[in-house]
Structure 1
Amino acid sequence: MMNAPEGFRSGFLSFVGRPNTGKSTLINALVGQKIAITADQPETTRRPIRGIVHRDNAQIILVDTPGLHRPRTLLGERLNDIVKDTYSDVDVIGLTIPADEKIGPGDRWILDAVRTVAPKTPIVGIVTKVDKVSRDQVAHQLMAVHEFLGGECEVVPVSATKGEQTDVLIDVITGLLPEGPKFYPDDHVTDEDLNTRMSELIREAALSGLKEELPHSVAVEIDEVLPNPEREGVTDVHAVLYVERPGQKSIIIGKDGRRLSRIVHRSRLEIMELLGTNVYLDLRIKVLKNWQSDPKALGRLGF
């Protein structure tokens, strides 16, 4: 921990909300670079990712979590346990509700769950995706969320994709944090290790455009990262993408291997940006039967 100026505030914030309400996009917008993967399907985020927002007067450590949901598999139960542990441990909770969707039973279930595990933690209502609707609809949703949360809770409208109101949100969060030290140096944006970030980038590329298949069926493991023996300045990244069934393997590979080529191309560009070097990506696909319900397989893949 580092010394900080007088009146400096620091602490942990967790976003909670139904899957696909814009939590990961918001984290990336607040941190200023890509930390959390985003995809079209719900429940893409699997592990808490700490992104760090640095301001002259504050340091906010963002903890991303999987969407709270009623579990269907052992993986689902483990994810929910991670979520509950996280919420009882943070200083502020940001509840995300999109501007273009009515508040429903899922939001109520989440709010009840959070208030049960963290009854004293302040909650900020965040109306996301405001660029998708009219100003009247935004105003209507702000009032609805205010009523939903009740009491003194502040509600902030944001568009993470356009960067609208993100500074206002940071100011509101900062006001709720306790005074404290800097937990991380100023140039630190996440405490995820590189292998985890690379595997998440590959998983994001694999999930892109997949509408039917459940994203939880896909896991990625980085096998090894080595300097290329023949080409100077090139890093070889060897990775394995696991699916649960042979049919899923065919979907990932695609017709004539085209989808797999796209996955490799897209994730290679992202990994090059992350590592700052040219990259050769060797990606193999393996079937690991029903790994989501197998404790040994879950442990091996880091859950």
Structure 2
Amino acid sequence: MSDDEFRSGFVCFVGRPNTGKSTLTNALVGEKIAITSSRPQTTRHTIRGIVNRDDTQLILVDTPGLHRPRTLLGKRLNDLVRDTYSEVDAIGLCIPADEKIGPGDRWIAEQLKEMAPKTPIVGLVTKIDKVKPERIAQQLMAISALLGPDAEVVPVSAVKGKQLDVVVDVLRGLMEPGPAFYPDGELTDEPEETLMAEFIREAALEGIHDELPHSLAVVIEEVIERERDDNQTPMIDVHAILYVERSSQKGIIIGKHGARLKEVGTAARKQIEKVLGAKVYLDLHVKVAKDWQRDPKQMGKLGF
């Protein structure tokens, strides 16, 4: 097998919530396609990011964090992760450098070995910019002990861009020779409406200290391109509804005199304009769908 052959394949990043999976996905792709937040359980969809190099194409499947579920939504998110394991060529287990390996990490490592015994696992020590070199070395040894002597372990900082090429090289070595799955230049195969809804969710979750990550769903109701002359800048109207489970949560999202919702709209609009390559008028409304994450019918309506 010649090493200069083009290789391609699918990679899944897993780990406890908030271990840097989405940030790493964005850094490797080179554009923002997965939402990031300091709140756990932010990611809801398996967003596929595409890493294009001269000799490689990696399709990164960014899943929700695997966790012990408490609701029907939690169970569905876990099922989503399990289904993904069986489809990929390699798995990257993300564990931050600034946190000791805990029961949650061990549980996920056991789940991986049980559900995908033949899929190679790479240990990814994330957030190395937050700690000193000796701490990184300790974490590398600890993860190596957790995954076994055959697993490669790579330290990486997505925020600082350190070791990203090493991560790609290691993952490339686990792919079979084969052609690219997507045209060069494509960054994701997610529909634009899914990305728009995710960016609105991200903006709404920013700075909120509450249970909202689980309780918030966003539905894009309508996307309308305005008529224009040839020399006018494209303008697109996006109408979206943010669903919460309780009236108190609705108040949190809207804020005093609507100030918070306005901030959400401004932040989300900037991201959406990048995706659409056009000016955007973003119209947001907040509605209550009582206890939707425990109701299969309502979950279906909201896209889960």
Contact 2:212 2:249 survives alignment (8 Å)? no
Q: Give me the CA root mean square deviation.
A: 1.4
Distance 1:171 1:252 in 2: 43
Distance 1:214 1:92 in 2: 32
Identity of aligned residues (%): 63
> Partner amino acid for 2:246?
R
Distance 2:101 2:68 in 1: 18
Contact 2:27 2:159 survives alignment (8 Å)? yes
Alignment of 1:152-231 (within 5 A): 152-228=150-226
Kindly provide the CA deviation profile for residues 9-40 of structure 1, in whole angstroms up to 9, marking residues without a partner as x.
Answer: 11100001000000000000000000100011
Distance 2:146 2:79 in 1: 25
Shift of 1:229: 5.5
Distance 1:209 1:32 in 2: 25
Kindly provide the CA deviation profile for residues 249-275 of structure 1, in whole angstroms up to 9, marking residues without a partner as x.
Answer: 000011221111100111111111111
Shift of 1:287: 0.4
Structure 1 residue 236 corresponds to structure 2 residue 237 = yes
Contact 2:85 2:115 survives alignment (8 Å)? yes
Kindly provide the CA deviation profile for residues 35-56 of structure 1, in whole angstroms up to 9, marking residues without a partner as x.
Answer: 1000110110011111000111
Distance 1:52 1:275 in 2: 18
Distance 1:144 1:6, change over 3 A: closer
Distance 1:283 1:145, change over 3 A: same
* TM-score, length basis structure 1: 0.96
Structure 1 residue 124 corresponds to structure 2 residue 128 = no
Misfit runs of 4+, over 6 Å: none
Shift of 1:92: 0.2
More moved, 94-103 vs 267-276? 267-276
Q: Which residue of 2 aligns with 1:148?
A: 146
Alignment of 1:26-65 (within 5 A): 26-65=24-63
Distance 2:227 2:239 in 1: 14
> Partner amino acid for 1:8?
F
Structure 1 residue 260 corresponds to structure 2 residue 229 = no
* TM-score, length basis structure 2: 0.96
* Secondary structure of the corresponding residue to residue 176 of structure 1: coil
> Partner amino acid for 2:266?
H
> Partner amino acid for 1:126?
L
Alignment of 1:74-153 (within 5 A): 74-153=72-151
Distance 2:15 2:70 in 1: 18
* Secondary structure of the corresponding residue to residue 19 of structure 1: coil
Shift of 1:182: 1.2
Shift of 1:7: 1.9
Q: Alignment length, in residue pairs?
A: 299
Contact 2:109 2:146 survives alignment (8 Å)? no
Distance 1:301 1:261 in 2: 23
Q: Which residue of 1 aligns with 2:246?
A: 245
Kindly provide the CA deviation profile for residues 129-155 of structure 1, in whole angstroms up to 9, marking residues without a partner as x.
Answer: 000011111111111111111121110
